[in-house]
Amino acid sequence: MACSICPRNCKIDRAAAAGFCGCSSVVRVARAALHFDEEPCISGTRGSGTIFFSGCNLKCIFCQNYVLTDGTHGEIFSVSRLAEMMLKLQDLGAHNVNLVTPTPHRDAIVDALKAAKQDGLTIPVVYNTGSYETVETVRAFEGLVDIFLPDLKYRDPRLSLRFSHASDYFDVAIEAIAEMFRQVGPMVTDGDGIAVKGVRIRHLVLPGCVFDTRSVLDAIRNRFGTDCPVSLMSQFTPIPECTVKPLDRPLTRREYDSALDYCISLGFTNVYSQELSSVGRIFTPPFSDHVNL
Ligand code: SF4
């Protein structure tokens, strides 16, 4: 069947060949484990039950998880094993099941979520995405996903083309995020500060690109209001594989402070900022072709 799961619209038969995302018709998982490096409302005290999928439809040139983006790494999972993994993470005490880069595997994940919920999955399900999504694909998860963590990476099409091969990124992502809001609204937390439902938009401040961060924040305010939960991330870390300027250097404290000051000046009321010690810290967990869980 011709794949049009995401806006790349490759129209290829993934049973015969991989598309831009690197994914064939099988689901590959590179890591499933309790993860403690998400926002406090997601990781909580017991960890987020993350499932890292192999392959990516953005392939950002600065990605810390770049080893996963070609889609060939990780262990092949059936739908039933995926559902079992979700239940196992719940048994381990995870606050949620956190699907990282799920988009290319939409249909298998939808089936696995239905099976897992039938078999007793009750913790919230998190959809963790770069937001290069069609509205139709986001709709496929309606009633199955409780929390959306969408990136809004760029507003300037020149940046999104250069860094993520998608000049239409902003126009596509903002509509996908609007659909997420339609489904679940802004993020709400329980009495312990743990997220139970809703959307929180993430934005990673890039070196030399604070001008675009300001545009992204303007767009969030204009479309979703100042009550929109926002995570302003500082954790950009240059990787040796990326020599493109200005992504070949770390984010400076001055740049992050400038971005955060602008965010606050716009009046956002629910902002998660990262410790400045996050600058240069490696957040990449170990990946493997065998999932030991
Ligand atoms: S999911 Fe992969 S194969 Fe399908 S349209 Fe997107 S990039 Fe192409």
User: What Å distances lie between residue 2 and 16, 24, 70, 78, 208, CA to CA?
Assistant: 10, 12, 20, 21, 39
Contacts of 9 (CB under 8 A, 6+ apart): none
**108 in contact with ligand 1, CB cutoff 6 A:** no
Residue nearest to atom 2 of ligand 1 (CA): 21
Is there a domain that residue 284 lies in?
Answer: no
With the most atoms of ligand 1 within 8 angstroms of its CB, the residue from 4, 24, 57 to mutate is: 57
pLDDT for residue 72: 81
Best of 1, 4, 5 for a ligand 1 pocket test (most atoms within 8 Å of beta carbon): 5
Could you tell me if the CB of 4 is within 6 A of ligand 1?
Answer: yes
How remote is the CA of residue 136 from the centroid of ligand 1, in Å? 14
CA angle 106, 2, 86 (to 5 degrees): 15
- Listed residue (156, 193, 205, 150) closest to 174, CA to CA: 150
Structural domain count of the chain? 1
- Report how far ligand 1's centroid is from the alpha carbon of 179 (Å): 20
Q: Residue 11 domain-assigned? A: no
- Residue recorded with tokens 């030991």: 292
Residue 292 tokens read as 């030991």
Q: Is residue 127 part of a domain?
A: yes
Question: Rounded CA gap, 228 and 122, in Å?
Answer: 26
Give the span between the Cα atoms of 111 and 18, in whole angstroms: 21
What confidence tens digit (pLDDT) does each residue in 27-84 have?
999 999 999 999 999 999 999 999 999 999 999 999 988 777 777 888 999 999 999 9
Residues of the chain above pLDDT 90, percent: 87
Domain contains 17: no
Measured from the CB, is residue 49 less than 6 Å from ligand 1? no
57 Cβ inside 6 Å of ligand 1:
yes
Query: Does 237 sit in the ligand 1 pocket, CB within 6 Å?
Result: no
- Contacts of residue 16, Cβ cutoff 8 Å, sequence gap at least 6: none
Taking the centre of ligand 1 as the mean of its atom positions, its distance from the CA of residue 262, in whole angstroms, is 36
The CATH number for 191's domain is 3.20.20.70
Torsion angles phi and psi, residue 81, rounded to 5: -70, -35
Q: How far is CA 163 from CA 57, 158, 213, in A?
A: 13, 8, 14
Q: Indicate if the pLDDT at residue 276 is higher than 80.
A: no
Q: Is the C-beta atom of 22 inside 6 A of ligand 1? A: no
Look at 291 and 139; give whichever has higher pLDDT: 139
Judged by phi (left if over 0) then psi (alpha if -120 to 50, else beta), residue 168 lies in: alpha
State mean pLDDT over 129-146: 98
104 Cβ below 6 A of ligand 1: yes
Q: Whose CA is nearest to atom 4 of ligand 1?
A: 3
Nearest of 111, 185, 110 to residue 140 by alpha carbon: 110
pLDDT at 283: 57
Task: Report the pLDDT value the prediction gives residue 64, as an integer from 0 to 100.
Answer: 86
- pLDDT tens string 160-213: 999 999 999 999 999 999 999 999 999 999 999 999 999 999 999 999 999 999
Q: Ligand 1 centroid to 7 CA: how many Å?
A: 8
Domain presence at residue 211: yes
Read off the pLDDT band of 284 (50, 70, 90): low
Ligand 1, pocket-test mutation among 1, 4, 6, most atoms within 8 A of CB = 6
The residue range of the domain holding 205 is 39-278
**15 vs 225: CA distance, rounded Å:** 43
pLDDT at 171: 98
Residue 292: its pLDDT value, please?
65
Residue 6 lies in a domain: no
Query: Does residue 28 sit within a domain?
Result: no
Mutate to test the pocket of ligand 1, among 9, 12, 21 (most ligand atoms within 8 A of CB): 21
Residue 287 lies in a domain: no
Say whether the peptide bond before residue 285 is cis (omega within 30 degrees of 0). Answer: no
**pLDDT of 75-117, one tens digit each?**
999 999 999 999 999 999 999 999 999 999 999 999 999 999 9
Lowest average pLDDT, out of 61-75, 252-266, 272-286, goes to 272-286
Please tell me whether the overall predicted TM-score, pTM, comes out greater than 0.85 for this model.
yes
**CA of 267 relative to ligand 1 center, distance in Å:** 37
